[in-house]
Structure 1
Amino acid sequence: MSPEEFRAFGRQVVDWVADYYAGVESHPVRSQVRPGEVRAQLPAHPPEQGEPFEEVLRDLDAVLVPGVTHWQHPNFFAYFPANASGPAILGDLLSSGLGVQGMVWATSPACTELETVVVDWMAELLGLPEHFRTDAVGGGVIQDSASSAALVACLAALQRVSGGAVASKGITRRHTLYVSEHTHSSLARAARMVGIGADNVRIVDVDPDTLGMDPAHLDALIAEDLAAGAVPTLVCATIGTTSTTAIDPVRAVGEVCRARGVWLHVDAAYAGVAAVCPELRWINDGVAEFADSYCTNAHKWLLTNFDCSLLWMADRAPMIDALSILPEYLRNPATASGEVIDYRDWQVPLGRRFRALKLWSVLRWYGAEGLREHIRTTVGLAQEFAGWVREDPRFELLEPHPFGLVCFRPLLPEQDDERVYQLMESLNESGELYLTHTKVDGRTVLRFAVGSPQTERRHVQAAWKRIQESMG
């Protein structure tokens, strides 16, 4: 494809994306295709000869779009938001156009140094401690997801607790990891991947009112494991759990971790970005004093398209010791000088994209004021929805709900969980909105997550009316 052809087709693609956003509301939120339907419309074999790019766009409209669940739809209230925005998309396009492989500083200094700037900017915007800055003992890095951040934190924790032995000799003793029943499943997966093992993931009780982790039970489990000869390695405290956005008491959990010498990883994947608003910065209580690692996702609620997960370390040395390997083909004067960051040592893969470009574009386009306005608007819509649920005697509202997620339960005869699930599925199958569910205390509840910049009050009102109508 020549530069002239790229220019022409590039304009068509940008126009297509712009038209898609302008008309996204006309699509059913959740794809209506059956399993295998998309594949059946695609050729069984690759083309022998090249095809005009117009054919790609034609098949995009005719075959692929009907099989898309529209995460950017204003009536997408499922899971958590996966925000995209104009500046983020353009930043991603620039990243793809440059085609940078930013594994070490020398392979593209701008890729590394821009990333250090944007993670420091984000630490400032979120009110995170100074030692998380890249010019301090800690530092930040952009991972692909919070799952990768959890894996890196586990590796760093193992390295520290073993005095460096794990990286060279592997795991030779039983190590334990601590979560609550509401902690994201990525921590259990990380335990499997690093060799701790699923059986050594300990489940800490939660407070029945707040659903936050019980520090006293955590301490008791750690004491029990120490007595049995195990090595308590990492505790994950969550700020905004996936099921309900419950908040673990980071300060109290951190005090237990500090007393027991256990690494504290704080998973704020969804809710952490809310701290751009000063009135929501209370969620960081205890982070500065006790967090060894901290993660939040710009690609959920902060207008930056996937993938862009931010991980900070209070002390980056254990992470680098755990992950750094320097083969001959990566040796270069800049690395040897010790004056640069090589982000290959901060992640599991060697290769890395120029992700900082899209976050940089978002920060410059919206500014702190624009980001705060987005968070405040969506929180306000969620709180209004919660008020409507509270006032309708046919529904039960789960408290608290400080962010953009509201959990509620239809009060059906005999509290039938299957009927609650079927009610949700009938709403989703309509294509008018999309909800998901979770279980709290063994009961099915529905999740209504507001977060899209496309969502207006009228969309939330229409969704609530449709939910009410579904009750008959």
Structure 2
Amino acid sequence: MDKDTFRKYGHEIVDWIADYFENVRHYPVRSEAGPGDIISKLPKEPPAGPEEMKTILKDFKEIILPGMTHWQHPGWFAYFPANNSPASVLGEMLTAGLGAQCMSWETSPAATELEEVVTDWLRQMTGLPEGMKGVIHDTASTATLTALLTAREVATGFTCNETGLYGFPGSREEQEAGTGKATRTGTGNRSGEKTAAGPALRVYASAEAHSSIEKGVRMAGYGRKNLIYIEIDENYAMRPDKLEEAIQEDIERGFRPACVIATVGTTSSTAIDPVDEIGAVCKKHGIWLHVDAAMAGTAAILEEKRDLMKGAEYVDSLVFNPHKWMMTNFDCSAYFVRNPEHLIKTMSINPEYLKTGRDAQVNNYRDWGIQLGRRFRALKLWFVIRHYGVDGLKEIVRNHIRMAQWLGEQVRVSNHFELLAPISASLVCFRRNDGNSSEKELDRINRELLMRINETGEVFLTHTLLSGRYTIRLSVGQRTTTLADVERAWEIINQAAGGNR
């Protein structure tokens, strides 16, 4: 493609994106395509020769676009948001145009140093302690796995990478005595199942923790049965007293507690685990504390929500996602650590072909995560923070919280709906309840209600289970959403419920 053709189609695509931003509300939020519809319209074999860009764009509009779910729609109230913004898209265009592989300072000095600066901006914006250092990963799932791997190495004296998960000394006493024995047999769960030699490492999380934690525990070699879910309170937050009990019991039975994962904003209800109390337990026992603040962490940029980070002085690692609620398109996940040396010692592999003369003077972010290859994610985040300013981002987040509070009040005063969880950020959890039906019948009523709501095409909501009850979730957080859109969603909900408020 010559430069003139590139310019022509580049302008056309930018114009299309601008029109899409303006008109996205006119699409159905969810695609109306069925399984296999898109595949049936695509050739089974790749083209042998080049095709005109005009033809490719035509197929995008006629085949791909009808199969897209529109996450930027103002009626998007499902899951959590995955926002973009014009500033973010422009930054992403430059990232694609530069085509840089940002694994080290040498391969892209500006990318490395900009990442260092913008992650410290985020630290300041959210009130994290001075001295915590950040890196940008793709997702919170990757960051959580990174935390679990680092916690594993810290718990085993950085021997696990060398000898395998059960090759480290069998007890703290044996390590101190230098015997190196690995004869203790732990139990793989609370029923007493045996594991390989060496004390099994334990991970603790709220019963409401994200599914990526279980996946990370599996991938890091702890084993699913060594993930202990801690009892929650009436607000779905972890109970620190139950955490202390579980840790004490495991120590007495020969397990080695390695990591506690607290959640600031659970997926089901945005419950807030008490990080300060959990942190005190972790400090007492010398356990790595990781905080998953993927969604709600952004709210900490507000002074009135700064208590979300209460207890941050105890935290060893924390993740939150600018790609959820900070107008930065997917993917962009900010991961912070109190001691980068633990992370680097866990992750660093330095073959001769990657060594440079400046390695001791700079950050090489390839050593701060799992991947060697790295995108220039900091650029779009830099664009966003500079374009909106901290005050502009605060106002967006504050407005979303106000909208959620407005909706929550409508549910509270309703005769036919009830709130099922506190509104700690911008998620409203509710259900229809006529006061006369059994729990089983209420589950059926709300399952069918959600289906009718989503069939309108104007809004998209999802569900969860809270205390075993089928719960409808409405998450406010899309850049394009206004109070009028939330009011319309409430109207649709009531219409789908038969007009009863």
For normalisation by structure 2, the TM-score amounts to: 0.91
Large movers: runs of 4+ above 3 Å: none
Measure how far apart 1:329 and its partner are.
1.0
Size of the alignment, in residue pairs?
462
Asked whether the equivalents of residues 462 and 472 of structure 2 are also in contact (C-alpha less than 8 Å), the reply is yes
Matched AA of 1:85: S
Asked whether the equivalents of residues 206 and 231 of structure 2 are also in contact (C-alpha less than 8 Å), the reply is yes
* Counterpart Cα distance in 2 of 1:242 and 1:233: 24
1:247 is aligned to 2:272:
yes
Q: Secondary structure at the match of 1:106?
A: coil
Which of residues 390, 405, 427 in structure 2 aligns to 1:368? 390
Match of 2:262 in 1: 237
* Counterpart Cα distance in 2 of 1:20 and 1:55: 20
Matched AA of 2:321: N
* Counterpart Cα distance in 1 of 2:73 and 2:142: 27
Measure how far apart 1:435 and its partner are.
0.3
* Counterpart Cα distance in 1 of 2:420 and 2:406: 14
Match of 1:459 in 2: 485
Task: Summarize the alignment of residues 429-468 of structure 1 with structure 2, pairs less than 5 Å apart.
Answer: 429-468=455-494
CA offsets, 1:266-317, max 9 Å, x none?
1110000111111110111101x21000111000001000000000000011
Task: Summarize the alignment of residues 206-225 of structure 1 with structure 2, pairs less than 5 Å apart.
Answer: 206-208=232-234, 210-225=235-250
Which of residues 308, 316, 319 in structure 2 aligns to 1:283? 308
Which of residues 138, 141, 165 in structure 1 aligns to 2:135? 141
Matched AA of 1:320: I
1:158 is aligned to 2:183:
no
Match of 1:135 in 2: none
Which of residues 147, 166, 170 in structure 1 aligns to 2:164? 170
* Runs of 5+ unmatched residues, structure 1: 133-138
For the pair shown, which has the larger CA radius of gyration, 1 or 2? 2
Asked whether the equivalents of residues 159 and 319 of structure 1 are also in contact (C-alpha less than 8 Å), the reply is no
Measure how far apart 1:425 and its partner are.
1.6
Matched AA of 1:430: T
Measure how far apart 1:399 and its partner are.
3.6
Matched AA of 1:87: A
Measure how far apart 1:56 and its partner are.
1.5
CA offsets, 1:167-221, max 9 Å, x none?
211211311100111111111111100100101000100112x211011111111
139-148 or 429-438: which moved more? 429-438
Asked whether the equivalents of residues 269 and 421 of structure 2 are also in contact (C-alpha less than 8 Å), the reply is no
Task: Summarize the alignment of residues 297-316 of structure 1 with structure 2, pairs less than 5 Å apart.
Answer: 297-316=321-340
Task: Summarize the alignment of residues 89-128 of structure 1 with structure 2, pairs less than 5 Å apart.
Answer: 89-128=89-128
* Counterpart Cα distance in 2 of 1:212 and 1:402: 11
1:344 is aligned to 2:366:
yes
357-366 or 275-284: which moved more? 275-284
Matched AA of 2:339: D
Matched AA of 1:165: T
Matched AA of 2:203: L
Asked whether the equivalents of residues 420 and 466 of structure 2 are also in contact (C-alpha less than 8 Å), the reply is no
Asked whether the equivalents of residues 293 and 320 of structure 2 are also in contact (C-alpha less than 8 Å), the reply is yes
1:394 is aligned to 2:416:
yes
Matched AA of 1:130: E
Matched AA of 2:129: P
Which of residues 343, 348, 354 in structure 2 aligns to 1:319? 343
Matched AA of 2:470: T
Matched AA of 2:18: A
Q: Secondary structure at the match of 1:142?
A: strand
Asked whether the equivalents of residues 32 and 429 of structure 1 are also in contact (C-alpha less than 8 Å), the reply is no
Task: Summarize the alignment of residues 67-86 of structure 1 with structure 2, pairs less than 5 Å apart.
Answer: 67-86=67-86
Matched AA of 1:261: G
Match of 1:192 in 2: 218
Measure how far apart 1:74 and its partner are.
0.3
Measure how far apart 1:402 and its partner are.
2.3
Match of 2:444 in 1: 418
The sequence identity of aligned pairs, in percent, is 45
Measure how far apart 1:319 and its partner are.
1.1
Match of 1:136 in 2: none
Aligned-pair Cα RMSD in Å: 0.9
Measure how far apart 1:328 and its partner are.
1.3
Matched AA of 1:263: W
For normalisation by structure 1, the TM-score amounts to: 0.97
Match of 2:207 in 1: 181
